[in-house]
């Protein structure tokens, strides 16, 4: 892969582009401008490539992985608590959804 070829992006990251506004110092912006010119890319492309690289490296960062496991366990505990609450309210079956339209007369 040459320097001017964008890094391969996982399929999950592809899709519609969204705008992200970031405040940076004049000095950092000047460096980005020079790097973009040297690499024959736009500043936006340079920023996107840097972010993609950072995201990929974060996926193997031991501190990030440890925190991800902690967060996953918290999410699972919260989900179980909510499942238990629903079961306590409605019983072991899923709550029935009210039908739309006419109600049967009693």
pLDDT of residue 15: 83
Residue 94 half-sphere exposure toward CB, CA atoms < 13 A: 3
pLDDT of residue 105: 54
Higher pLDDT, 53 or 14: 53
14 pLDDT more than 80? no
Q: What is the pLDDT of residues 23-77, one digit of tens each?
A: 999 999 999 999 999 999 999 999 999 999 999 999 999 999 999 999 999 999 9
- What is the pLDDT averaged over residues 85-93? 89
99 pLDDT more than 90? no
pLDDT of residue 2: 47
pLDDT of residue 92: 76
Residue 29 main-chain phi, psi, to 5 deg:
-65, -40
Residue 105 half-sphere exposure toward CB, CA atoms < 13 A: 0
Q: What is the pLDDT of residues 17-30, one digit of tens each?
A: 899 999 999 999 99
Domain boundaries, the chain: 1-58, 61-89
């Amino acid at each position: 892969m040459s320097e001017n070829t964008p890094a391969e992006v996982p399929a999950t990251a592809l899709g519609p582009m969204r705008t992200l506004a970031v405040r940076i110092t004049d000095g950092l912006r000047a460096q980005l401008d020079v790097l973009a010119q040297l690499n024959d890319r736009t500043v936006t492309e340079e920023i996107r490539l840097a972010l993609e690289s950072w995201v990929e490296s974060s996926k193997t960062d031991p501190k990030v992985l440890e925190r991800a496991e902690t967060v996953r366990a918290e999410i699972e505990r919260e989900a179980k608590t909510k499942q238990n609450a629903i079961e306590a309210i409605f019983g072991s079956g899923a709550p029935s959804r009210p039908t739309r339209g006419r109600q049967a007369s009693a």
